[in-house]
Each structure stands twice: as C-alpha cells, then as structure tokens.
Structure 1
Amino acid sequence: MAALRAERHIATRVAFTVIVVFVVAQVTWWILVQGRLATELRDTTLAAWQLDARTANAVLALDPAAEASLLARYAHLRPRADGTGLEVDPAARHEVERRNARTVRMLAFEGPFFALVILGLLLFIASSLRAERELKLRQANFLSAVTHEFKTPISTLRLLVQTLRLRPLGATRQQDYLRRMEGEIDRLERTSEQVLATARLEQASEPPPLAAADLNQVAQGWIGRLRPGLEVRGADLRVHYSPEPLPVALDGDAFGIAFSNLLDNAVKYSPGDAKRIAVTLERDGDLVMLHVDDEGVGVAPSERARVFERFYRTGDEMTRESEGVGLGLALVKSTVEAMRGWVKVADGPSGRGARFTVVLPRRVALAESDERGDDASGQRTSAALDGGSAA
C-alpha cells in the first residue's frame, strides 16, 4: 500500500511538472510569435510608406501642382526640406516605432502574468488535491487505528477469559490476569471516549457553558481520579501546584477530557517501565498555564503544528507500536479553544521529551473578589484581635 501511494505521488509530481513546462513553453512561444508579428507589421508599414513616397514623387515629376492633393491623400508624407519632393514624416515614423515598442512591452508583461496566473491556479489545484489525499489517508489510518484499538483488546480479553475458564490458575496468576483485563477495558474506554467526545464537539452548535473555578483545585480533583490508572501503566506522576489561586472559567468535564488526553499522551510516548510525568501549574500575568512534561521521544519541530490535526499520526498504521487513533491531541485543542484558551507544544524543560502547555485566560473578576475577600477577612481578624486586646 505504501509503495502504491509513493508511485501515485511520483506520477502526480511528474504530471504537474509536465503541465508547468508545457504552460511556460506555450506562453514563451506566444510572446515570441506576437512580438515577431508586431515587428513585421512595423516593417511592412514603413516599407509601404516608402513606396508611397516614391509614387508621390513620380506623380510630382509629371505634375508639380499635385503636391497639395498628394499631402492630403498621404498624411504620413511631408515636403522635403530642400523642396525636391516628398518624404516619410519622421514624426509618423516615430509614432509607428513607439506603438511597436509598446506592443512588445505589453507582451513582455502580459505573457508572464498570464503564465503566473495559470501556475497559481495549478498550484492551488495541486494543493487542494494533496490536502484531500492526505485527509483520505488520515481517515484510512483512523479506520485502521480504530479497528486495531478495538480488535486488540477484545482479542486479548477473549484469550484471558478462555484461559480462566479452561485452566485452573493460582490466586497470583488470577490477579495478574484480572489486572490485565482491567487494563484492556480501560484502553477500550479511552478509545470510545475519544471518539464520542470528538463527535459531541462536532455536533455542538454552541460552546460549552463555563463556570468560575480555581485551576489548582480542578487539576487536583482530576489527578486524584486519573492517578491510579496512570500508575498502573508505569507513570511516575509528580504535580507542582501554584502557591497562589489560579482563577479561570472552564467546563470541568471538558477540561478533564483534555487533561486526561494530555496525560495519556505523555504516558503513551514515554519509553521504559518508569515513565516520569510532571504536571506544573503557574500564572504568567493574566494567563494561567498548565504544563504536562514527559521524557519520551518528543515532537519534531516540523510536526508540532500538525500533531493537533484530526487523524494525524506519525508513521505507518501497519507498523506503528503506540496506541491511539489520532484524535487525542485534536480533542485537546478543540476543547481548550472552546474555553477561550489555546494549547502549544515545545521541548521538555530538561531538553528531553515534550512539554504540552494549556493556556487559559485568568478570570480577573474572580481574582479581585478573592483578594477583596482576603482583605476583608484580614480586617475582621485584626478587629477581633484589637477587641480582644482591649477587653
């Protein structure tokens, strides 16, 4: 299949190159032909005027009084300075040469412009076809990935269930099989949730309702739910909360989907048994940031913009080793943007792995309310202390 796609790609490029060469050659030929025709028209006109001058002089030799009628008939002639006959008017000659030069200049500009327009249209068509081909390829990869993500856990579950039914196992082996079954069920659940969440986002006519919250508390709640499943998969999760409140406006469930996908992505692409994952929350001016750092394979700079596209996955679906269907990061991007934020990716702080950052606007009204509440609480406490001292 990959070889067939490569052959089609080469054939498309060859066809496009042939079309470009043909267009350039056709326009060049048109410019040369039209320029030659314009030059021939100029030479023919000047030659005809010279013939008119000789004819008029022959008539004048027979009838000198016919000069006025000849000048009226041949507007491009004038009397010679020495009075010996008629000649082609230099002003008329100059006008013919000027029009010829203008025609040549027009051809020199219009020809390349015409070629550029055609080449631009060809590039647009080629770009559209390439985008459509890539989308179809990604959709095909998505179908292959979904098939793999559902079929593999189901086959594993069937094998484990049959083993438990047909063979007596010790308690330790049974617990190991049950743990593996739970892991496969979690994998099915993650895949189903990604597909369903993507469908819900596409069908939603309005953005989700946002509620005021402290990102420290929201992240802490989700980490408490997600930590057991992540640690079973080998994650060594370390969380660094902000020492100050992080007031934001978000949809808790939607944020949980985005957060869980970022953590799942970090575990998925971290090699080894101990997968060190760091979550950091901080404030930068009027922005609130959540960083998810891993020490995995990282993301190449050339792919950082595309990893957030739907169905995009690096590598071939026939030879890939990582799980997933190519929706996780696209779902993160759509969800965060629905909460008026954005997501970005960079190298990890240690130079290894990747850092995915969710950026949300700080909810200023809530922050000011908290600050006023803290001030009022401090004033009440101070008053109480003063009253107690007075008593």
Structure 2
Amino acid sequence: MLMAKLLDEKVEIATELGADRDYIAVIQAEEISRQMMVGTEGVFFLVLVLVGAWIIYRALVINERLKFAQQNFLMGVTHELKTPLASMKIYLDTLKSEKIPNEKKLEIIPRLKNDVDRLEQLVENILEAGRFEKSGYKVHKELFDIVQLINYSADTLKDHSLKQELVITKHGLPPELLFYGDRYALKRAIESILENSLKYSDKDRIEVDLTFEHDDKNISLTIADNGIGLEKKDTSMIFERFYRVGQVINQSKPGTGLGLFLAKEIIKAHGGDISAQSDGLGCGVQFTIQLKVMKHNENNIVS
C-alpha cells in the first residue's frame, strides 16, 4: 500500500508539471523497478537472517547435546569405577579372613574375576574411543572361523550371567565358516551387543536369539533379546559416542555409552553395517550385523 501511494504521488506531481504520457510511463516503470529491487533485497535479507538464526540454533543444540553426553560419560565412568572397586575390596577382605570356609572363598573368585574383567573392558573402551577419534580404526585382518568366535562370545556371556538365568538359542550357525577380518575387534563388537542384552533386562530369565545367515557375498548375524526395549528415537542414537538412554543419574544400569559406539565403528571398518530395531519399551531389541564375505585365494584375499 505504501509503495503504491508513493508511485501515485510521483505520477501526480509529474502530471501537474505538465509532463507528457511517455515521461510519466518512464517514471512509473522506474519506480516499479526500484520497488521490486527493494522488495527482493528485503526478502533476501530476511532469508539470510533466518538461515543465520537456524545455524546459531543448531550450534547451540549440538553444544548442549555434547555437554549432556560429556556429563553422561563422566557420571557413567565414575559409577563404573566405583562399583567394581567397592565389591573387589569386599571380596579381598573376605578372602583374607580366616573365619570364612574355603568353599565360600572359591565361590568369590569368579565374581572377583568378573569385576577385574569389567574394569579392564572399561579402560580398553576409553582407549579405543580415543584412537577412533584420532585416526579411525585400523583393522588387523586374518583368516579365522567366525562361527567359533560367535559361539565363544555367547559362552563368555553365560559366564558373566551370575544373577539371572540366561538362555541363548542359536539358529542357522554352520559347523564352520572362514572369514577374513579382525578377529579380536569383531569379538569385542559381538560381545558388546550380547552384554547389552544382559545389562538391559529386568527379567529373571533372559532370552537371547542368535540368527546366522550367509551366502557367497554376505553374512548376517541377528541378536534379539527380551529386554526392556527402546523407544523409536533411540534406535539410531544408541550408536553415538557416550549416548545412553535416559538420564544417567536415574539409571541403575552400568555403562559409559561407548560399547555400541565401538561396535559400530568396528563393523564399519570391515565394510559392514549395524542397526537396531525395537517395537517399543518392554518389547526387547533386535540388533543386526551385516558383513561382506571375503574370499580367500592362495596368495591374497579378494572381496
């Protein structure tokens, strides 16, 4: 409205001064062109402001998320260190006591070993996460039996299950399958997922299904449990560094948010993929690992 009024005033002044129609038409064209330019510049400036505001907002969100992740990590590490150290101290004091029967002392040794293994895994996870951030993960490949590795990892999980009944059902595992990759890294990745099933369960009986499928080009390992499950928004976030579901301060489950992150990086370093799926809280979680089969020739390995 304001622009139209200004144009009318210019035309009126030109008419009063006796300008002919051609001159008035030129004035109108120039004014319309100027108004369009001003309008375009205004829109461009508005878009620029909105884009800048969005970038600042995203930076603030990322910064807050990073601060939250760091807080989660520090609280998680503190909890992970204090809990096994406290129980180890109790176990060692018990073992020193002459009043405790030897049979009871023998029962304590596996629990003490579990706490030592837990501390060792924590330190190793932190060191590995630092290496990934610095230079990425470098695989040390060799030819090994991946079926044997999966069976060993499942048996290790049973050894860690001291308080709950654990039932692991295996489907489709062949007697043997040679795979070219980093044996110890893949063992860590698979065990991290299996331990997740053990850790995040509120049931006295934990059920884990391992389903193995393969052809000439691909290997698929699905690990499904009957644990507490996940909300849909968490199924992709759980593979981020330091991410843990919910507030750490409200969590009774141990962890630092590094296990699944390391598992993802290891699988990616092998050219594979890992994903999680859940029908919601209380419905368990299904992890799927996809790997490419590497064929072994006499002198080299080809995909």
Q: Name the counterpart of 1:230.
A: 160
Gaps of 5+ in 2: 298-303
Aligned counterparts of 2:143 and 2:30: Cα–Cα separation in 1: 74
> Given that residues 39 and 100 in structure 1 are in contact (C-alpha distance below 8 angstroms), is that contact kept between their aligned partners in structure 2?
no
**TM-score, normalised by the number of residues in structure 2:** 0.85
Q: Name the counterpart of 2:37.
A: 106
Aligned counterparts of 1:300 and 1:247: Cα–Cα separation in 2: 36
Aligned counterparts of 2:140 and 2:265: Cα–Cα separation in 1: 15
> Given that residues 246 and 288 in structure 1 are in contact (C-alpha distance below 8 angstroms), is that contact kept between their aligned partners in structure 2?
no
Aligned counterparts of 1:248 and 1:176: Cα–Cα separation in 2: 38
Give the C-alpha shift of residue 167 in structure 1: 6.9
Give the C-alpha shift of residue 213 in structure 1: 4.1
Give the C-alpha shift of residue 172 in structure 1: 4.6
Aligned counterparts of 1:124 and 1:158: Cα–Cα separation in 2: 51
Q: CA RMSD in A?
A: 2.8
> Given that residues 226 and 283 in structure 2 are in contact (C-alpha distance below 8 angstroms), is that contact kept between their aligned partners in structure 1?
yes
> Given that residues 307 and 329 in structure 1 are in contact (C-alpha distance below 8 angstroms), is that contact kept between their aligned partners in structure 2?
yes
Q: Name the counterpart of 1:338.
A: 269
Aligned counterparts of 2:10 and 2:265: Cα–Cα separation in 1: 70
The counterpart of 2:207, out of the listed 244, 251, 276, is 276
**1:85-104 correspondence runs (5 A):** 88-104=19-35
**TM-score, normalised by the number of residues in structure 1:** 0.67
Rg (Cα) greater in structure: 1
1:207 aligned onto 2:123: no
Q: Residue by residue, what CA displacement relative to the aligned partner does 1:227-280 show, whole Å, maximum 9, x if unpaired?
A: 442343533222224348655431101101101111111111122232111222
Aligned counterparts of 2:100 and 2:175: Cα–Cα separation in 1: 53
**1:45-194 correspondence runs (5 A):** 45-53=10-18, 88-165=19-96, 168-194=99-125
> Given that residues 153 and 184 in structure 1 are in contact (C-alpha distance below 8 angstroms), is that contact kept between their aligned partners in structure 2?
yes
Aligned counterparts of 2:152 and 2:84: Cα–Cα separation in 1: 29
Kindly indicate which of the two structures has a greater share of residues assigned to helix. Answer: 1
SS at match of 2:250: coil
> Given that residues 114 and 160 in structure 2 are in contact (C-alpha distance below 8 angstroms), is that contact kept between their aligned partners in structure 1?
no
> Given that residues 221 and 288 in structure 2 are in contact (C-alpha distance below 8 angstroms), is that contact kept between their aligned partners in structure 1?
yes
Aligned counterparts of 2:123 and 2:212: Cα–Cα separation in 1: 29
Aligned counterparts of 2:76 and 2:116: Cα–Cα separation in 1: 17
> Given that residues 171 and 212 in structure 2 are in contact (C-alpha distance below 8 angstroms), is that contact kept between their aligned partners in structure 1?
yes
Give the C-alpha shift of residue 117 in structure 1: 1.5
* Cα distance change on mapping 1:44 and 1:221 into 2, 3 Å: same
Aligned counterparts of 1:197 and 1:217: Cα–Cα separation in 2: 24
1:265 aligned onto 2:230: no
Identity among equivalent positions (%) equals 26
> Given that residues 131 and 137 in structure 2 are in contact (C-alpha distance below 8 angstroms), is that contact kept between their aligned partners in structure 1?
no
